């Protein structure tokens, strides 16, 4: 451990040392559940490696990071750290023509995988996150001088409005972006929402259930208070209410969402 500590100190202090990014990602993706220590070290070195490469490399490894998110979807701390590591890639691809984006196939999670994921205790089909999850992600994003919050939000909106997602999937996510700003983000979110066929989307029961979950939170979860997904804030609720009132299926689904 003493040798490892010395090695880490040398790597962090010498910015000329380039770590084998692809090898670290391969190790992370092939690591087993029991290899907790190795996985944690891989995350540490992955952060260092990504901090020393340019935007082109961040874009190139984005598909691998998305594969990692699927692999560690039930390991919330690792999952949250990997989300943070995708930030620069999202900002970078937002400036590119969609035709030259890397493969975002892992985002098109098939129904079988989605059903398995929903059954996991620490995952929910929800457009929000717990207090602990937010703090874990926000802390790391804010500490990265190369990531601007507004730029990141705008890039995510652009990705959401691409052909990767269906309109029914992105509506609950856009509500949060529009409601919480800043102004530039609200404008981009509003423009994207106006392109959505709301009459059609608000007939989708899964979408309406997701909107209700966002509004009401998921307090029934058997988790510590700070790990539960809490009800939406007032600005988000004000954006949600008109949508729920327009939905012809909201009246039928409401009783099932308040149990």
Q: Is the domain of 38 the same as that of 83?
A: yes
What is the predicted pLDDT for the residue at 127?
A: 52
For residue 128, the model assigns a pLDDT of 60
Q: Of 66, 85, 119, at which residue does a domain stop?
A: 119
| For residue 178, pLDDT beyond 50 | yes
Q: Are residues 145 and 88 in the same domain?
A: no
Which of the pair, 216 or 220, is modelled with greater confidence? 216
Mean model confidence pLDDT for the chain: 81
Could you tell me if 151 and 72 lie in one domain? no
Query: Is 81 in the same domain as 11?
Result: yes
Residue 49 is predicted with a pLDDT of 94
Given pLDDT bands bounded at 50, 70 and 90, which one contains residue 27?
Answer: very high
Q: Is residue 42 domain-shared with residue 81, that is, in the same domain?
A: yes
Same domain, 135 and 250: yes
Report the percentage of the chain scoring pLDDT > 90. Answer: 27
Residues 20 and 47 in one domain: yes
Q: Based on the domain organization, do 71 and 130 belong to the same domain?
A: no
34 and 101 assigned to the same domain:
yes
Write out the chain in H/E/C secondary structure: CHHHHHHHHHHHHCCCCCCCHHHHHHHHHHCCCCCHHHHHHHHHHHHHHHHCCCHHHHHHHHHHHHHHHHHCCCCHHHHHHHHHHCHHHHHHHCCCCHHHCCCCHHHCCCHHHHHHHHHCCCCCCCCCCCHHHHHHHHHHHHCCCCCCHHHHHHHHHHHHCCCCCCHHHHHHHHHHHHHHCCHHHHHHHHHHHHCCCHHHHCCCHHHHHHHHHHHHCCCCCCCCHHHCCCCCCHHHHHHHHHHHHHCCCHHHHHHHHCC
Q: Is the pLDDT of residue 107 over 80?
A: no
Report pTM: 0.77
Residue-number span of the structural domain to which 251 is assigned = 124-258
- Chosen domain end from 96, 119, 142: 119
Provide the pLDDT for residue 55.
92
End of a domain among 67, 102, 119? 119
pLDDT at 6 over 60: yes
Instruction: Looking at the structure, tell me whether residues 205 and 241 fall in a common domain.
Output: yes
Among 95-99, 189-193, 197-201, 205-209, top mean pLDDT goes to 197-201
């Amino acid at each position: 451990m003493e040798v490892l500590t010395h090695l880490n100190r040398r790597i962090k202090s010498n910015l000329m040392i380039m770590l084998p990014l692809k090898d670290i990602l391969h190790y992370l993706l092939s690591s087993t559940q029991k290899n907790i220590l190795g996985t944690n070290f891989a995350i540490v070195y992955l952060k260092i490696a990504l901090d020393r490469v340019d935007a082109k490399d961040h874009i190139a490894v984005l598909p691998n990071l998305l594969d990692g998110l699927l692999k560690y979807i039930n390991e919330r701390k690792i999952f949250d750290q990997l989300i943070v590591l995708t930030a620069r890639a999202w900002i970078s691809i937002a400036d590119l023509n969609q035709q030259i984006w890397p493969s975002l196939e892992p985002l098109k999670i098939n129904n079988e995988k989605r059903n398995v994921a929903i059954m996991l205790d620490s995952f929910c089909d929800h457009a929000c996150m717990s207090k602990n999850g937010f703090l874990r992600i926000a802390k790391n994003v804010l500490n990265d001088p190369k990531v601007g919050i507004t730029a990141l939000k705008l890039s995510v909106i652009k990705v959401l409005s691409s052909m990767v997602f269906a309109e029914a999937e992105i509506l609950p996510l856009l509500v949060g972006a529009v409601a919480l700003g800043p102004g530039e983000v609200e404008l981009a979110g509003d423009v994207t929402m106006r392109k959505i066929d709301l009459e059609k989307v608000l007939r989708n029961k899964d979408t309406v259930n997701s909107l209700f979950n966002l509004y009401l939170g998921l307090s029934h979860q058997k988790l510590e208070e700070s790990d539960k997904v809490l009800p939406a804030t007032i600005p988000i609720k004000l954006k949600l209410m008109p949508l729920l009132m327009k939905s012809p299926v909201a009246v039928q689904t409401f009783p099932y969402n308040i149990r």
